[in-house]
Amino acid sequence: MNPGIEGQPVLHWSLPPVSDRAEVTMTSLTTFYLSGIIGKEAFGADGDAIGTIKDLLVSAVPSGLNDPNQQLVTGVRLKIGKETKFYSFNSFRVVKAREAINVSCSGLIELGSDEVNNGLLLGENILDKQIVDLNGRKLVRVNDVRLATLPAGTFAVAVDIGIDGLLRRVGISAPIKRLLSLFKINIPTKYILWDDVQAIDFSNLNIRLSKSYAKLQTLHPSDLADILEDLGKKSSASVFSSLDEEKAADVLEELETHAQIYIVESLPVNKVADVFEKMPADEVADILDELEDDKAELLLKEMEAESSKEVRELLEYDDDLVGSIMTTDYLSFTATRTVEEVLKELRLKKPEAAELYTLFVTEPDDKLIGTFNLRDLVVTDPEITIDQIMKSEPVSLYDNQKTTAIAEIVSKYNLLAVPVINQDNLLQGMVVVDDVVEDLISERRTKRRRK
């Protein structure tokens, strides 16, 4: 356990456990806060003040996986007279007696420009910045940084995102704690370990924390979408552009309309087109429907011909027609295919979950003649043909029907997906119950805003 960080996992380099903490000497472990050292005077070997500490520099260039040097304090920004320069932190020593912090320096060693450029200033670039709490899956603000001095050096251990850190910054933590202790009230301390920190606000940087945006890829698209919506516009576009195309497509689907529009208008056309090609055509059509015609046309031209064609066909439908919310991502098979052949094809295609809600049976000209589901496949002998397990004359919707008909059919027949056909009974797509629910929720939100 890290000192003072209760309930948190151990770092990849070990600190003494709580039970042994009292036995640790001053020289082996000293913990302090960034707010307690910025503004402090550093004293030389003769006891005279040599300058004022303005900030600390940590290494920001990873040299390997789980490398503790990524959080090593390498430099100090020191103001001497009217000049401010960067010096190696190796010659500095931080000693804490009770709550008082003293900083001594055995000699000034100026840092080169490369060392400075490859570092991250904690005060300037971390304090008061927005970061992602990967465990809490939310955006928080840094109130302080906790550091620990070990024989191997001084390291950034964690960021303080609690009220205690804020009170400490303004210098009233101790008296407030004493006052509240009379009423047996404790101020909770909340940290995020440095290894779990993912900085977001890089408006004035060309460097990032140890793992860049890599850890954001592990978040669920819905959680990441919530974080992007909480970020400022510039930062949200920066984070989104760092995602791979598959992840970006999933996240874009989850964003609210206003956030989708900003992202699309902020990024290069080719980047957006690549993401669109990974999304269901109906989702892309919904976004393009909100853009200016010129911008939408530009994006459609940039997309691959087949993807662009599917989206254009959906855009031709009026908003109140079934065709406007159907998806063209569906799976259809001829009636003579065997169960084994269908299963083999599904394994190859690896379709999205929604595409497996209902599987369709069509004739060579795409005329719809039946439906079946995944359960039918799993419980049936492999050599059986699809025409023996399909449901003939399936319930369906016409693409030019009003969307008001969808809810009734879904509810009446308890369907997860409804096939959509044209007047010639040719399969055009399907309406998925997820989209119906999303539309209903969106409609209610719009009504509330109007009120």
Give backbone dihedrals phi and psi of 334, rounded to 5 degrees, phi first: -80, 160
- Please list the alpha-helical segments (H only) found in 160-244: 163-169, 173-181, 221-230, 233-242
Residues 245 and 191 in one domain: no
279 and 362 assigned to the same domain: no
3-state secondary structure of 201: coil
Buried b (16+ CB within 10 A) or exposed e, 264-291: bebbeeebbbbbbbbbbbbbbbbbbeeb
Q: Do the domain assignments include residue 340?
A: yes
CATH number for the domain that contains residue 303:
1.25.60.10
Q: Are residues 183 and 49 in the same domain?
A: yes
Query: What is the value of pTM for the model shown?
Result: 0.61
Q: How far is CA 83 from CA 53, 103, 124, in A?
A: 12, 19, 18
Q: How remote is the C-alpha of 198 from its chain's centroid?
A: 10
The verdict on residue 6 lying in a domain is no
Domain boundary among 137, 171, 199: 199
What confidence score (pLDDT) does residue 63 get?
A: 44
End-to-end CA separation in angstroms for the chain: 52
Query: What is residue 236's predicted lDDT score, i.e. its pLDDT?
Result: 81
Q: In the block, which residue shows the tokens 């910054």?
A: 169
**pLDDT at site 185:** 76
Residue 429 lies in a domain: yes
Exposed/middle/buried for residue 92 (C-beta within 10 Å: 0-12, 13-18, 19+): buried
308 and 264 housed in the same domain: yes
Q: Do 29 and 163 belong to one domain?
A: yes
pLDDT of the residue at 26: 35
* Six-digit token string for 292: 């200016």
Can you tell me the distance from the alpha carbon of 181 to that of 187, in angstroms, rounded to the nearest whole number?
Answer: 9
Residue 418: which domain range?
A: 332-440
351 and 301 both lie in a single domain: no
Q: Do 187 and 97 share a structural domain?
A: yes
Quote the distance between the C-alpha of residue 144 and its chain's center. 23
- Do 48 and 192 sit in the same domain of this protein? yes
pLDDT of residue 7: 35
In a domain, 7, yes or no: no
pLDDT confidence of residue 4: 36
What span, in angstroms and rounded, lies between the C-alpha atoms of 247 and 275? 9
DSSP structure string for 348-415: HH---GGGGS-EEEE-TT-BEEEEE-HHHHHTS-TT-BGGGTPEES---EETTSBTHHHHHHHHHHT-
Residue 1 lies in a domain: no
Q: Is 319 in a helix, a strand, or coil?
A: coil
Q: What is the pLDDT of residue 61?
A: 57
For residues 180 and 277, membership in a common domain is answered with no
DSSP secondary structure letter of residue 338:
B
Q: Is 372 among the domain residues?
A: yes
**Does residue 342 sit in the same domain as residue 377?**
yes
Co-location of 51 and 182 in the same domain: yes
What is the domain count for the chain? 3
Residue in this structure with the two tokens 């931080």, named with its chain if needed: 94
Among 168, 199, 230, residue at a domain's last position:
199
- Each residue's pLDDT, cut to its tens digit, for the chain (451 residues) gives 333 333 333 233 333 333 333 333 334 568 888 988 999 999 998 889 999 999 999 886 554 444 545 578 999 999 999 999 999 999 999 988 766 888 999 999 999 988 888 888 898 888 888 777 766 667 788 889 989 888 888 988 888 888 777 777 767 767 777 777 777 777 777 888 777 666 665 444 433 443 445 667 777 888 888 888 877 777 788 788 878 899 999 999 999 889 999 999 999 999 999 999 999 998 999 999 999 999 999 999 999 999 999 999 999 999 889 998 899 999 999 999 999 999 999 999 999 888 999 999 999 999 999 999 999 999 999 999 999 999 998 999 999 999 888 888 888 888 889 999 999 999 999 998 876 666 554 554 444 444 4
